[in-house]
Amino acid sequence: YYQNQADADAGNNNFISNPTSYIVNESQTLYVRLVKNHFCDTVLELELNLNTAPVAENPVSLGPECDEDGDGWVEFNLEDAIPLLVPSQPGNLNYTFYLNQSDAESGNNPQNPLVNIATGSTQTYWVDISDGVCRSFSTIILIASESMQNVTNQTELEPKMLCDEDFDEFITVDLTEWHDELILSDLGIQFSYFMSQTDAENETNPITNYLNFPVTDSPTIIWVVIKNEAGCREIRYVEYEIGEKIPVNASEFQLEPFCSNVLDLTQLETEISNETGIHFYYYTDINSAESGGNDFIINPAQFPVNSDGMVYVRLEKNGFCPEIVLLIYQQGEEVPHQPE
């Protein structure tokens, strides 16, 4: 065996001394001189093509991935790691996946690229990367995040009833009031709010005024994305309903003219509303009536009066929103009579 044709043609002693352990560093052409008694010598070319094994990143990771369906397992496709393993030529190679190094080197027990691992765990797979001639090995680390814990079931989330508490015909809510109901502990939890399920699933068009969100329709449904620090999430919806006001027969009522200096403000309660089980609170000013404070008239059945006036009656009943009516009273005239 010779490294050049001239030496091979001459048959000199400059031949390769170690043909059984010849080191090849690059592709090259060698020359073989065949010699046999009673035959003419022949020189042949021997092409040595040195292929380079694929150069792979090692290790590469997939994840953290989340348990989207809550079954305690996370599915991975090992082929998703291919662009990470050999970024320069991922499409020109063959990839075979194994559970351990021994299987990878021997080619035994190849694995399906679709694998499942338990939430909160990691697992390493080996991959044989081959160009059909040469091959290299790498490892893929799979990371399965812990699933969301202690998120309230959808069926346990009851609608919240709203009332126009300040009687200004506007209702606003703080959507963060749901946090304690949605999850046992909100430590490290992110909440975002959406008007539709599609927006929630895609996390697009989040509600930005969630601390002062206007509620105009009944019911109003808000979709909430609950996400932990690993990026795993659950989606729930919460509901607001605008309560019905206590039905009243009129907005203003006129008491019978009074003659004494003590007036029974409660005398028209049965006429104000046909509902039963109503609590009536009497106030001397509208602001107090609207806020429903404790500065109501303590004894409305014996209200001291000395001139015409009005009071505000706040009606309250479980399951209804409060209502306010105006109660007007006037001093009666004395019966005309002849002077003595």
- Rounded to a whole number of angstroms, the CA Rg of the chain reads 44
- Whether 42 and 33 have beta carbons less than 8 Å apart is answered as yes
The answer on pLDDT for 339 being more than 70 is no
Angstrom distance (rounded) from CA 115 to CA 60: 16
Question: Whole-angstrom distance between the N-terminal and C-terminal Cα of the chain?
Answer: 159
pLDDT at 68: 78
Model pTM score: 0.63
Which pLDDT band holds residue 49 (cuts at 50, 70, 90)? confident
Phi-psi region of 322 (alpha: psi -120 to 50; beta: other; left: phi over 0): beta
Per-residue pLDDT at 245 exceeds 70: yes
The answer to whether the beta carbons of residues 62 and 109 sit under 8 Å apart is: no
How far apart (Å, rounded) are the C-alpha atoms in residues 221 and 214? 12
Question: What is the rounded average pLDDT of the residues 269-295?
Answer: 93
User: Under a CB-based contact definition with an 8 Å cutoff, are residues 150 and 85 in contact?
Assistant: no
Question: Who contacts 278 (Cβ-Cβ below 8 Å, separation ≥6)?
Answer: 246, 269, 315, 316, 317
Contact predicate 115/125, CB 8 Å: yes
Mean pLDDT in residue range 173-183: 94
Percentage with pLDDT > 90 across the chain = 71
CA distance 294 to 309: 21
Task: Tell me the pLDDT tens digit for each residue of 84-125.
Answer: 998 877 668 999 999 999 999 999 999 999 999 999 899 999
Q: Up-side HSE of residue 10: CA atoms within 13 Å toward CB? A: 10
Tell me how far apart the alpha carbons of residues 133 and 74 are, in angstroms, rounded to a whole number: 35
Q: How many whole angstroms from its chain centre is CA 300?
A: 54
The whole-number pLDDT of residue 72 equals 87
How many Å apart are CA 242 and CA 138, to the nearest integer? 61
**Which range in 49-53, 123-127, 253-257 is most confidently predicted, on average pLDDT?**
123-127
pLDDT band (50, 70, 90) for residue 149: confident
Cα 309 off chain centre by: 57
From the number of C-beta atoms within 10 Å of its C-beta (0-12, 13-18, 19+), residue 63 rates as: middle
Q: List for the chain the helix, strand, coil content (%; round to 5).
A: 20, 35, 45
Chain position carrying tokens 């991975």: 76
Which two three-digit tokens encode residue 67? 């348990």
pLDDT at 91: 67
Q: Are 240 and 220 in contact (CB under 8 A)?
A: yes
Q: Residue 268 in 3-state DSSP?
A: helix
CB–CB of 66/74 below 8 Å? yes
d(CA 200, CA 173) in angstroms, rounded, equals 19
